[in-house]
């Protein structure tokens, strides 16, 4: 990978939010998945998540809502962990889930509640 400031910022943010599992995919990159990991690290976390317009807590809250709407449980679980690291509380996660469920529908919403509950329990904040 061609490392630069954007990549370094992105790697640091992935570590801050997700711990060692968040950078493990970077440490285990191969010639097939290197373009994806570079894109996620550099563009997603190094450029967009690092912009000053929104704080990380707000970005986490938005990301959770979007992932609920997309019915992406693996990413939702991952980003709930990141949200907790970014200061989002259990009560705030509950409100995001309730609000998003109203707009995206019960099937996507109820699945998301279950996954969120499991992540909160795993983090001893349930």
pLDDT digits (tens, 9 = 90+) for 5-61: 999 999 999 999 999 998 998 989 999 999 999 999 999 999 999 999 999 999 999
pLDDT digits (tens, 9 = 90+) for 53-111: 999 999 999 999 999 999 999 999 999 999 999 999 999 999 999 999 999 999 999 99
DSSP string, 52-93: TTS-HHHHHHHHHHHHHHHT-HHHHHHHHHHHHHTT--HHHH
CATH 1.20.1290.10 fits 56-122, yes or no: yes
The answer to whether the pTM exceeds 0.75 is yes
Q: How far apart are CA 75 and CA 28, in angstroms?
A: 19
Span(s) in the chain for CATH 1.20.1290.10: 56-122
């Amino acid at each position: 990978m061609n490392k630069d400031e954007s990549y370094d910022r992105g790697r640091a943010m992935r570590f801050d939010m997700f711990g060692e599992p968040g950078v493990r995919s970077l440490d285990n990159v191969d010639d097939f998945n290197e373009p994806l990991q570079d894109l996620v690290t550099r563009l997603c976390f190094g450029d967009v998540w690092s912009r000053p317009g929104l704080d990380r807590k707000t970005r986490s809250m938005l990301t959770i809502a979007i992932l609920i709407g997309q019915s992406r449980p693996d990413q939702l679980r991952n980003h709930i962990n990141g949200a907790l690291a970014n200061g989002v509380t259990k009560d705030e996660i509950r409100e995001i889930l309730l609000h998003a469920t109203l707009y995206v529908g019960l099937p996507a919403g109820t699945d998301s509640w279950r996954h969120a509950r499991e992540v909160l329990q795993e983090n001893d904040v349930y």
